[in-house]
Amino acid sequence: MSDLFIVVGTFALCYAAIIGYAARLHLRRRRVKD
């Protein structure tokens, strides 16, 4: 099942990167609202 682990890990890393980008955006937006 290590194949599936790698696949899930790949998906997770990619979406984590995208979520990370979105989170940075959110922080930037919050900073500007003040």
Partner 1 sequence: MNRIRILLGTAALAVAVGLWFAFTSPVDRLQGEFSRIVNIHAPFLWVAFLAFGVTALASIMWLVKKTPRWDRLGEASAELGVVFTVTGLFTGMVWGQAVWGRAWDWGDARLATTAVMLFVYLGYLALRGATPDPEMRARRSAILGAVAVVQVPLVYFSVYMFRTLHQTPSIRPDGATMPREMVVALLVNFLAITYLYVALLIARLDVARAEERVAAEADLAGDAVKPPRLTEVEDV
Residues that bind partner 1 (CB under 8 A): 3-4, 6-7, 10-11, 13-15, 17-18, 21-22, 25, 28-29, 32-33
CB of 7 to partner 1, least distance (A): 5
CB of 32 to partner 1, least distance (A): 4
Residue whose pair of structure tokens reads 């890990």 in the numeric block: 9
CB of 26 to partner 1, least distance (A): 8
Residue whose pair of structure tokens reads 């099942």 in the numeric block: 1
Question: In three state form, how does the secondary structure of the chain look?
Answer: CHHHHHHHHHHHHHHHHHHHHHHHHHHHHHHHHC
